[in-house]
A and B are shown apart, each in its own frame.
Chain A
């Protein structure tokens, strides 16, 4: 800008100011309205959208799909266009050039005009850049693989419930449904090994949560317990192990008081004298807690899988294990600890409580329905 242009601009600006408004109250009034609207928007977002809960950081979980915060997504996406040996172009040169260009903009943009009609190149260029950023962000959002859903428990009750589910699958085959231990059967490499009870006062009082966490995480190799943490070849994430420890503490430690809602959530639903039991409400929770640990794929179980109604009714080398209406079904005989062709007593270590066996019997007598329709 020449000195004349500067002078002309100053004069014009002074006139605009003269014909303008007062900062107080005219301008500040608009600012306050916007600020108030923003505040309401934020409270609304906090109330109705909230902050999504995420599982605890787990350096060993390499399956996690990392994503930067959304406003860095365009940079992240841009990097995909640079092959390995040119990566530094995308990570260093382009961002550095962009920042430098922004910083020095008033010094290399020598065009004195301010109205958009006289600045078509500058505005067009910026428009393309902004559109490119938006397009890259959208592209990143669309191409992001869906994150594997993991349950995030936030309340103690939710943690206990999640822990119980995980315990049922991962731990029951050796430690028993109540942590009672016993002689292991049907587990590769540990056949016939006697495992001590882990639900005793002695165990609970002498091991704190960190110790329990580490035992699950690392295992106890000398005693035959394999590691369960993801970092050591197991299936459990940090959060998973935390839930199991919470479940053990609240279920077995007599110093911990089980929250009411947790007790309700984990209770096997009671059955009235005239009520017909159904798989979905009554049998599934029992199966989940006492059977699934062994009766799932990848375990030694004569191919009898119990993770869904169809599998419970129709799978296994000796199917059918359940014949609706027949109390001589394999399942009932084995629950009564008979040794038959289909297999030995079930569960191997300890009989189910009589009322649970009764529940199975009433269910089969009623025709083994999946749901009860009234």
Chain B
């Protein structure tokens, strides 16, 4: 290939990559062509050609900056937001689906509308605790701990939540703030007895758990920690799969077994819980045939 052909081929390649929005490779090819031209005995005198390529490099660089600075949370039409809520709510339970839809909006960065949806859920009495926690997480994700604190103060000043739930929300916010190194003077709520301190919302409060780690607190496996991905979840009941070759592990989960050290990982938070093995059965058909399906009911977080 002659020098001329080589330069032409590099420019062509750069053009096509640019059209494909493969901007980094496009820039590299233009630069390679420019170097060849500038070092060439006769082409280096062609100022027009050099200027053209330099201009193309500048354009590509500008495009790269534009893309780099483009917002990751564009304003979406109401129609598209409704679609997101609808497409990413997977539960058959209407209330849970409404919550999943609101969480999806938050995950797609539509925080204002997610906040509105969570507030609506609180108003409707649909999983108000979880909605409150998500409102706080939205504020925290927006790097606005002050807004989260202000929101909590507002709840304290109103009658939207019982003292028990306010205490629970307070602990949740306190921990979330501490994780960001913020020690805030949150307003105290009336002292509740240990029993009363538990949130009123139980089953509804747990949602979208991706995985759990369980520590055996007694028996031959005492101290051992195992981790499972959650394959199915309905309210506070989660299911996971134990492969057939881990029969010994499956045998350790006798129905009724109390699990007092469960760590739950969700996309929005990590929290500790307790629960009971509510079922263990061998899968007899389908691709998971032979494996074990383990059901755990989480009764407190």
Partners in one complex: no
Which residues of B does A touch, CB under 8 Å? Answer: none
Interface of A toward B, CB cutoff 8 Å: none
